[in-house]
Amino acid sequence: MQKIARASWLAWIVIVGALAATFSLGFYLGGEQLPAEDKITNVVGKNVGQPEAVDFSPFWQAWNVLNEKYVADNGNSSTTKKVTDQDRVWGAIAGMTSSLGDPYTNFLPPEQKKKFDEEISGNFSGVGMEIGIKDKILTVIAPLPNSPAKRVGVLAGDKILKIGNTLTNNLSADEAVNLIRGPEGTTVALTLSREGKDGPFDITIKREVITIPTIDTKELPDGIYVIRLYNFSAVSPNLFREALRKFIESKKDKLIIDLRGNPGGFLDAAVDMASWFLPAGKSVVVEKHGGKVEDKVYRSSGYDVFNDDLKMVILVDRGSASASEILAGALSEYGKATLVGEKTFGKGSVQELIPISGNSSIKVTIAKWYTPKGHSISLSGLKPDVEVVMTADDIKAGKDP
């Protein structure tokens, strides 16, 4: 299983939640009209997976009160959604995960899980930006290159205050993605705030089918070669190796790895890329599980093809997250590269994802990432050695400082 180091709602792999499984397994049993608790018990057995010290009676009391007392205000709208018993089970699991206060631990009911699968496959329609929760605020991690969001001027670090008429202060990243995405050709209105800009402002973005690029290369004067990496996908290691081969053939001695706006991807890809610059066995990143299981150290494979004559800079900004921070942090701390740009996003937690029941899934934060010198990526991100800020005016003028 490959671990995904990504900052947005995609950044997930696999874990099981016994409590969630208890609530969601086989909620409907052959059409029998049984109490909800009996329907679950008939499928999973009495108290299976239930912690002995937890009193579940308040849950069932609340369930029965809602059954007996609640009157829906359905009005005359033909679009009003009928809430089923199964919907309430999904809501209970979602409430349980949100009670942890971790923006990266979420429940995906069937509809959200379907959208997740579509995005993982790379075929989806939207505005083309990665989003996440930063300091409890819905934040743009990075607009994708040549995306609708990029073209209308969305910047990494923009705060999303409203999606249409919906305030985002109580939305998870998953819920926000569901509101922002939609059919190709339709539009979505966003209310944003931006550091250095007076007050919130509104933009409207037309949705398109999004194609996610992986890597670009170019040669600059003065012996400089640039590798621009947009994500850490399954194919990134091979493309990165080919880019390094071209760099060597160019006879240039200065390398820029541009990770600005790169939200991450596969952890193994970041470790493999670091291995081109580090001796075998050197720590690339440490995965700490808070004492629940043994910490895991991901180490360089030791390709180590460059000598000390290589002059390397890694460009980072507020949109550089997760796997980007892993690669940049390791190469910086071993003195292989100078970090230039802005402070990174700070997404150093590990999520795992597993199917629960009825095409639903749950993702859970199970570890934190630390750099080889023990710096927590989650706490503060990475601070560049040389700070260079790109402003909205720079972008408008087509200038890259």
Residue-wise pLDDT for 275-288, tens only, equals: 999 999 999 999 99
Q: Please name which of 397, 325, 400, 395 lies closest in space to residue 149, comparing C-alpha atoms.
A: 395
pLDDT over threshold 50, residue 10 = no
Q: Please name which of 119, 128, 263, 140 lies closest in space to residue 191, comparing C-alpha atoms.
A: 140
- The SS3 assignment for 3 reads coil
Active-site residue identified among 252, 296, 333, 378: 333
Q: What is the pLDDT of residue 23?
A: 24
322 is catalytic: yes
CA atoms within 13 A on the CB side of 377: 34
68 is catalytic: no
Long-range contacts of 22-29 (CB under 8 A, 24+ apart): 22/48, 22/49, 22/50, 23/89, 23/92, 23/93, 24/89, 24/90, 24/93, 24/356, 24/357, 24/358, 24/360, 25/357, 26/357, 27/85, 27/86, 27/89, 27/357, 27/358, 28/85, 28/86
Active-site residue identified among 3, 113, 288, 347: 347
Q: Residue 19 — pLDDT band, cuts 50, 70, 90?
A: very low
Q: What is the pLDDT of residues 64-112, one digit of tens each?
A: 999 999 988 765 554 556 888 888 999 999 999 999 988 889 898 988 8
Q: What is the pLDDT of residue 53?
A: 83
347 is catalytic: yes
pTM for the model stands at 0.73
Structure tokens, 266:
């596969």
pLDDT over threshold 80, residue 170 = yes
Q: What is the pLDDT of residues 33-57, one digit of tens each?
A: 334 444 444 333 345 567 778 888 8
C-beta separation of 310 from 253 below 8 A: yes
Active-site residue identified among 172, 236, 283, 322: 322
Average pLDDT, the chain: 84
Q: What is the pLDDT of residue 274?
A: 98
Output DSSP code: residue 385.
Answer: S
Instruction: Measure CA 126 to chain center.
Output: 16
Mean pLDDT along residues 286-311: 94
